[in-house]
A and B are shown apart, each in its own frame.
Chain A
Amino acid sequence: MALIVAEAGFAYNAGRGFENLALSGIDMVVEPGGLTLVLGPTGSGKSTLLRLASGLVDATEGSVTVDGEAMSTSARKRLRGRVGLVFQNPESQFFAPTVLEDVAFGPRNFGRPRPEDDGREAMRQVGLDPDEFGGRTPFELSGGEARRAAVAGVLAMSPDYLLLDEPTAGLDARGRAAVRAAIAAARERAGVVIVTHDAGDFLASADRVLVLFCGTSAFSGTPEEMLSAGASLPAGVRLPDVPRAMLMAADRTGTAVAPSLDPLVAARALAAMAGGRR
């Protein structure tokens, strides 16, 4: 069981005079319980990849399959709900008078027998107590609460794969922590893909990292491999600050170092390079 993107690509206006290649030669495999982090600067094709994987657009090269079945714009209706996509700033899609009604919208449309139960379950998954939040109006929620309610709206459809575009953008520390926890909970049943230009929040918990640059894959591997590859990543892609500091120091002193996300590990390494404690 997996969501597989194989050598896939997408070109706008394919075949016409002004073809614009947004994505090319991308490989990605996501299994339930897994977390794939897709990094890259703005315009690198990350959002296009999400659209491909969710069947919003058809791949112009390669293929996308969900549990063995081909995903496409026509198949999307048949594969309904298997792949859930949470857009950037998903709070803009709120429309219902209560949070529960908005969250239950998806399961209701898909003909589930008890959409409100699915809604309540999804709310619990993201850490929003249905009794406390269910009856409130979605427009009054705080940043982190609203974000989680929108995620719940997608989780309520019980997708096997959950794709998220910048899930922590614009949130403060507490909101980000709450969303991270919600995604960790979702990961228990689904395969998760997170697209972001800020590696900090999720790099530690990801099992695969895909770095996009100008529509192609600049790196694909584990987070540890990515940290080690730091120097060879393209200019527009940056490691988080802590491992980057380690690599800069290693550069300065001509020593080798295994970059880490842990500030304490990094401090010890830097201290050693600088000649021990002062």
Chain B
Amino acid sequence: MSPARIAIGQYVPVESPVHRLNAMAKMGLLTAFTAALFLVHGFVGLAAAGVVLVGAVALSRVPAAAAARGIAAVSTIVAFTLLANGLRWRPVTALLRIGPLALDAEGLRTGAFFALRILLLVVATTLLTLTTSPVEITEALERLLRPLRPLGVPASELAMTLTIALRFVPTTAEETERIVTAQSMRGARLDSGGPVARVKAWVPVLIAVFFNLFRRADDLAVAMESRCYHGGEGRTSMRVSRMRPADWAALLSGAAMLIAMGVLL
């Protein structure tokens, strides 16, 4: 499977210590990593975080290109961050002047810091979804939300909704593509004309897509009821997601190290 075929963040089923780690531990570590990113004072701290991240990617045995794919997606935000911080209005000192605007060394440095932080965050999150299957993620979310049940949070139902949504993403994408093709073959001008015309042109596609989605939801509800689905009450799970000692060790030591790094660096 070539790296180009793997969509951003999609699960890559490979054997690795990172894959084997419990999803909740991974989420905890991601949270600690994020906290560390916002605690570090300077580039040294970010560099250290970067080293940790590269190590994690290597440990996970996913193709580096897959992990880096998310970067392309946020390139606009990164560029914007750089410029928003780096450009000044008629400053006294400047690296480069463009009319009344100028690139300022100090501003660029700040911008680079923020941009680098964004990139590290994106790669870290991508690593989570690359090493954790959608099922594991939803299960972990459900377990984490479960304590909130007495407060009225329908943890199990939310997890089920998320699972179904994930399950149908590829199917719905294919169907939408078919409908787009069919309507455009009937002359719908979906990619030309001004914004108003374009929005109007997409209405037939969207109506058809929505109608199919509702019909799908209807059919699925009937199928689920037929298999005795009645909400989270009394439901068991084939997969028992348990935090083993190794998971706790990884989570606690990793979190401690990351927070320390954030505070010290």
Q: Which residues of A contact B (CB under 8 A)?
A: 17-18, 54, 56, 80-81, 84-85, 87, 90, 92-96, 105-106, 108-110, 139, 153-154, 157
B125 CB–A CB distance under 8 Å: no
Whether B179 lies near A93 (C-beta < 8 A) is yes
* Interfacial chain A residues near B175, Cβ < 8 Å: 92
Besides the known contacts A92-B178, A93-B182, A157-B187, 6 further A-B residue pairs in the complex with CB atoms under 8 A apart = A93-B186, A93-B208, A94-B211, A105-B187, A109-B188, A157-B186
Given that A56-B181, A87-B178 are contacting pairs, would A92 and B212 also be in contact in the complex, using a CB cutoff of 8 Å?
yes
With both chains docked as a complex, state the minimum distance between the C-beta of A253 and any C-beta of chain B, in angstroms. Answer: 49
B1-17 interface (Cβ within 8 A of A): 2, 5
Are the CB atoms of A106 and B187 closer together than 8 Å? yes
Q: With a CB–CB cut-off of 8 A, which chain B residues contact A87?
A: 178, 181-182
A108 vs B204: C-alpha distance when bound (angstroms) = 13
A selection of 15 A-B contacts at a CB cut-off of 8 Å is A18-B2, A56-B185, A81-B187, A92-B175, A92-B178, A92-B208, A92-B212, A93-B179, A94-B211, A95-B183, A95-B211, A105-B187, A105-B204, A106-B186, A109-B189
The interface residues of chain B, by DSSP majority, are classed as helix
Smallest Cβ distance from A108 to chain B, in angstroms?
Answer: 8
Tell whether B207 is near chain A: CB-to-CB under 8 Å.
Answer: yes
Contact of B186 among A18, A56, A105 (CB under 8 A): A105
Q: How distant is B66 from chain A, measured CB to nearest CB, in Å? A: 15
Complexed CA–CA distance, A4 and B183 (Å): 25
Chain B residues within 8 Å of A109, by CB? 186-189
Which 7 A-B pairs have CB atoms at the shortest separation, nearest pair first? A109-B187, A95-B207, A106-B186, A95-B204, A93-B182, A95-B208, A110-B187
Closest to A80 in B: B187
- The 0/1 profile, CB within 8 Å of A marked 1, for residues 161-199 of chain B is 000000000000001001101110111110000000000
Number of interface residues of B (CB under 8 A): 20
* Smallest CB gap from A88: residue in B: B178
B interface vs A, CB < 8 Å? Answer: 2, 5, 175, 178-179, 181-183, 185-189, 203-205, 207-208, 211-212
Interface centre among A84, A105, A106, A109 (most CB of B within 10 A): A109
Residues of B within 8 A of A18 (CB): 2, 5
Bound-state Cα–Cα, A54 to B185, Å: 9
Report the bound CA distance from A18 to B4 in whole Å.
Answer: 10
Q: For B189, give the chain A residue with the smallest CB separation.
A: A109
A28 to B90, CA, bound (A): 69
Q: Is the CB of B211 within 8 A of A17?
A: no
In the bound assembly, the distance between CA atoms of A81 and B188 in angstroms comes to 12
- Which A residues are CB-close (under 8 A) to B212? 92
Bound complex: CA A84 to CA B205 (Å): 18
Which of A54, A92, A96, A139 counts the most B-chain CB atoms under 10 A from its CB?
A: A92
> A156–B122 Cα gap in the complex (Å)?
50
**Separation in Å of the B186 CB from the closest CB of chain A?**
4
B179 to chain A, nearest CB (A): 5
Cβ–Cβ < 8 Å partners of A17 in chain B: 2
Contacts of B203 in A (CB 8 A): 95
Which residues of A sit under 8 angstroms from B179, Cβ to Cβ?
A: 92-93
Rounded to whole angstroms, the CA-CA distance of A93 and B178 in the bound complex is 9
Q: Roughly how many angstroms separate A8 CA and B188 CA in the complex, as a whole number?
A: 28
Q: Least Cβ distance of B199 to chain A in Å?
A: 15
Which of B178, B185, B189, B204 is within 8 Å of A96, CB to CB?
Answer: B204
Chain B hits for A80, CB < 8 A: 187
Chain A residues lying within 8 Å of B189, measured Cβ to Cβ, are 109
A155 to B169, CA, bound (A): 33
B residues less than 8 Å from A85 (CB atoms): 185
| A94, B187: Cβ atoms closer than 8 Å | no
Please pick, from A81, A90, A110, A157, the residue contacting B182 in the complex, using a CB distance under 8 A: A90
Known: A18-B2, A87-B178, A93-B179. A154 touches B186 (CB 8 A): yes
Report Cα–Cα, A56/B187, bound state, in Å: 13
